[in-house]
A and B are shown apart, each in its own frame.
Chain A
């Protein structure tokens, strides 16, 4: 379990993090969403004992990162957003070095390395120089490195950044497998949809402030008072446009005469939504369909950050 309480980090007068509070349960996958510079890497760096907080506290399995950083390091596997490799080491030597650095003896390292290489689909590359591996392979090798001491908690900062679609899918499969192993995984990404299916909870951070925290569904319900609705009508859509334009709860209307659709954002409760449909039918609109569009994590994120921008 990771408890973050009032975490604040200042660089000079700039607040990188401001009073961040959240609790991530053990064995769950936490997705951390935010634009570049929002504060994701700063949060992860503090949890990984690489950065000193200005105020607040972080506890990993009840152990304070500020009081016992050495204890915390044993419990976490950290994969930074940008990382380099020792170009003249082979893949197994690379893992062996980090295994030794985590205090594993030779027997433990010899047992762990083939398993990890198999987990990240790199068993064929065991004796190849790390520098000769592709970007995706290096990312996977770095993930194996973070797992070498079998930590309970994995902190993965943008693990899929810069990867092609295939490599991204492979990374997602590996993370899915780690999830079944009961690891607590903290993962950040700005490619939002890839987190949705993987995460139990998400946190949305913007300008150093946690804007939302909870399950994807809960956040959608809590924060999205505006729904995206598409209405398809038969024939000329001008009548439909005129009708919906008059409703004050409707904004951002978009019409497609070819498809015969009118799409708009609707602010109102479900009962009001039903009343709107009834009103449209009573007004004689030839409605073929009236449907609420599915929203994904990206829509949620955009809604949250737009709201904070306008505030």
Chain B
């Protein structure tokens, strides 16, 4: 573990990232956006809502909104941070020198991915004080917050892995970015559309009797927005189970799917980073 963290690429990437003013400006704007939203919401509820106080129900609503906003940030920022991990090195003509060092392909990919994930984690951790404002008014347990944090971490790790994979497979950062954002859009948006289609199809074919629908369940279980909703509002999760006929926690399916996807992405990136010198034999 110590050796993994003493990874030269990881150390270099973190050093470079924090010497860049853009990183701090990014964190600043993220916190400003979150802060304005939370304080604005509290202000609207307490002053303009006419109540003069903030109910635990409002607190839960705020928590849900913050969680969705944070998921949106993660889905939006992760591709931008990771999709250029290797392709930027290629474009800056530093990759060949890196590839002739003694570092293994896994070390290089691990260093690149971890550096991006660490920065995104910093973003999430930096937002915790804003998150914790909801505790002031009750309605949300620390366990719920921790659960959402772990969900966010898994999501950013998965999409980060996909971004790094594309940055290895494509020569240009712009192509890698488009591919990563496209993949993100597929999982976060298109799968919801597929879910709707499959539910409609199922309803029509079974004439509303509601048989088992594993395809609908699958599309729902890989959609981060739907899974986050099921975590924040368990009743909606229950509705989903009744609709699909599969009573299996969505978050477990989501975790297994994205862990496998991350492993496949990292594995492919590691194998394709260097040329396979054996291949022609």
Interface on A for B, CB 8 Å cutoff?
45, 48-55, 65-67, 69-70, 73-74, 76, 78, 80, 82-86, 88-89, 93, 97-98, 100-103, 142, 145, 149
Contacts and interface: CB of A to CB of B under 8 A. Distances in A.
B93 A52 contact: no
Contacts of A80: 93, 96-97
Nearest to B19: A88
B141 interface: no
Contacts of B279: 52
B147 to A, nearest CB: 38
A74 B277 CA distance: 16
B100 A49 contact: yes
B277 A101 contact: no
A88 B16 contact: yes
A145 B280 contact: no
A50 B92 contact: no
A65 B8 CA distance: 24
A101 B93 contact: no
Interface string B74-99: 00000000000000000011101111
Nearest to B103: A101
Interface of B: 6, 8-9, 11-12, 15-16, 19-20, 92-94, 96-104, 274-281
B102 A102 contact: yes
Nearest to A105: B6
A109 B217 CA distance: 55
Nearest to A71: B102
A78 B280 contact: no
A145 B8 CA distance: 15
B2 to A, nearest CB: 13
B275 A51 contact: yes
A48 B100 contact: yes
Chain B, interface SS category: loop
A86 B93 contact: no
Contacts of B6: 100
Contacts of A83: 93-94, 96-97
A78 B97 contact: yes
Contacts of B281: 66
Given A49-B277, A70-B104, A82-B93, 5 more contacts: A50-B100, A88-B19, A100-B6, A101-B102, A101-B103
A138 to B, nearest CB: 12
Given A52-B276, A101-B9, A89 B15 contact: yes
A113 to B, nearest CB: 14
B168 to A, nearest CB: 15
A85 B12 CA distance: 13
A214 to B, nearest CB: 28
Contact of B16 (A66, A84, A89, A142): A89
A97 B15 CA distance: 11
A76 B99 CA distance: 12
14 contacts: A49-B99, A51-B275, A52-B279, A66-B281, A80-B93, A80-B96, A83-B94, A86-B12, A86-B16, A88-B16, A97-B11, A98-B101, A101-B9, A101-B102
A52 B277 contact: yes
Contacts of B275: 49-52
- Which of A66, A84, A85, A103 has most chain B Cβ within 10 Å? A84
